[in-house]
Structure formats: structure tokens, C-alpha cells
């Protein structure tokens, strides 16, 4: 742990897990020019999936926690792909998918769990464009999935 971003993570009490392998026929990251495209990361921590449909099985706070965990998993993929988190110049775009009941409309509040963490960790470079989308289902009934585009040096 030598970099500025790693020190910030440590000060927040965040241990970045090893990047997970894909669950199907895709790659976790793709580099194109100076952009790192990160496949959707689900809400799983220490092998335990954070599950439940928002509104009927989980509340906004549980959803925010799940989105935050997705962001930590995105950071794990960044670290695996780039080797050094200080290479991140900008979090360009996040897309958050929220497993939600038809009556649920607080998707932005849920995905803020991921957005807030990126700003906390990367400062102004963590501010990004974003979509927060409600979906009928997600793999393994997880509550949230987040994908990202990262600009790096």
C-alpha cells in the first residue's frame, strides 16, 4: 500500500478485495486507449451476496450499502487491471442497475451509495456522469450492479 488512493481507502477502513472472475462468457475489463471499461460488478462482499428486490425485500439504506459494495468491487477491478489506483485520472461514467419492485422510484438514492464512495476516494476525479436504472431482476437476485468507465494515465 504505497499510493495516495490506497492510503485514502485505508483511512476509510476499506479493504479492497481481490478482483472476481467473470461468472459467464465475458472479460471483467477492457482497455481502449486511455479508458478502462469495467463490466458490471454485483453487490457481493466476502463471498456473501447482498440480495433482495428494493421496495419489497430491501430498503433504500440496504440498497445504498449494496451499491457501495459494488463500487468497492469496481475499485478491485481497477486495481487488477491497472496495478496502481493512483493511475486513475477520472471516473467518467457509472451505470447503476437496481433490482426493484415496480412501485420503487428511489433508484438515484440507492446508486448514490456508489457515487458517494467514488467522490470520497478519488475527490473531484471521482465525480462522474451517471445513469441509475431500475430493473425487474439481477443475477443471483443481488440488489445492485454497477459498471464503470475510468480514464487513466
CATH 3.40.50.300 fits 4-152, yes or no: no
Q: Can you give the pLDDT at residue 3?
A: 87
Query: Sign of dihedral through CA atoms 57, 59, 62, 67?
Result: positive
CA angle 1, 88, 97 (to 5 degrees): 105
pLDDT of residue 2: 59
Integer Cα distance of 153 and 147 in angstroms: 20
pLDDT of residue 78: 98
What tens digit of pLDDT does each residue of 82-135 get? 999 999 999 999 999 999 999 999 999 999 999 999 999 999 999 999 999 999
- Counting beta carbons within 10 angstroms of the beta carbon of residue 92, is it exposed (0 to 12), middle (13 to 18) or buried (19 or more)? middle
pLDDT tens track for 56-84: 888 999 999 999 999 999 999 999 999 99
Is the Cβ–Cβ distance between 89 and 101 less than 8 Å? no
* pLDDT of amino acid 125: 97
The pLDDT assigned to 60 comes to 96
Predicted TM-score (pTM) of this structure: 0.96
Chain segment 22-51, per-residue pLDDT in tens = 989 999 999 999 999 999 999 999 999 999
Say what the pLDDT of residue 117 is: 98
What are the extents of the domains in the chain? Answer: 4-152
DSSP string, the chain: --SHHHHHHHHTTPPPPPPPPPSSSS-SEEEETTEEEEEEEESEETTEE-B--BTTTB-HHHHHHHHHHHHHHHHHHHHHHHS-GGGEEEEEEEEEEEEB-TT---HHHHHHHHHHHHHHHHGGGG--EEEEEEES--GGGBSEEEEEEEEE-
pLDDT at 1: 42
Amino acid at each position: 500500500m504505497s499510493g495516495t488512493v490506497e492510503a485514502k481507502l485505508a483511512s476509510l477502513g476499506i479493504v479492497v478485495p481481490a478482483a472476481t472472475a467473470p461468472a459467464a462468457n465475458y472479460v471483467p475489463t477492457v482497455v481502449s486507449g486511455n479508458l478502462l471499461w469495467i463490466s458490471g460488478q454485483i453487490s457481493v462482499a466476502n463471498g456473501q451476496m447482498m440480495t433482495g428486490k428494493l421496495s419489497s425485500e430491501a430498503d433504500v439504506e440496504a440498497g445504498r450499502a449494496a451499491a457501495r459494495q459494488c463500487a468497492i468491487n469496481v475499485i478491485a477491478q481497477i486495481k487488477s487491471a491497472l496495478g496502481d489506483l493512483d493511475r486513475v485520472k477520472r471516473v467518467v461514467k457509472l451505470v447503476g442497475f437496481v433490482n426493484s419492485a415496480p412501485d420503487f422510484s428511489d433508484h438515484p438514492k440507492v446508486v448514490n451509495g456508489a457515487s458517494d464512495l467514488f467522490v470520497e476516494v478519488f475527490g473531484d476525479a471521482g465525480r462522474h456522469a451517471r445513469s441509475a436504472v431500475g430493473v425487474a431482476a439481477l443475477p443471483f437476485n443481488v440488489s445492485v450492479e454497477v459498471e464503470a468507465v475510468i480514464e487513466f494515465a
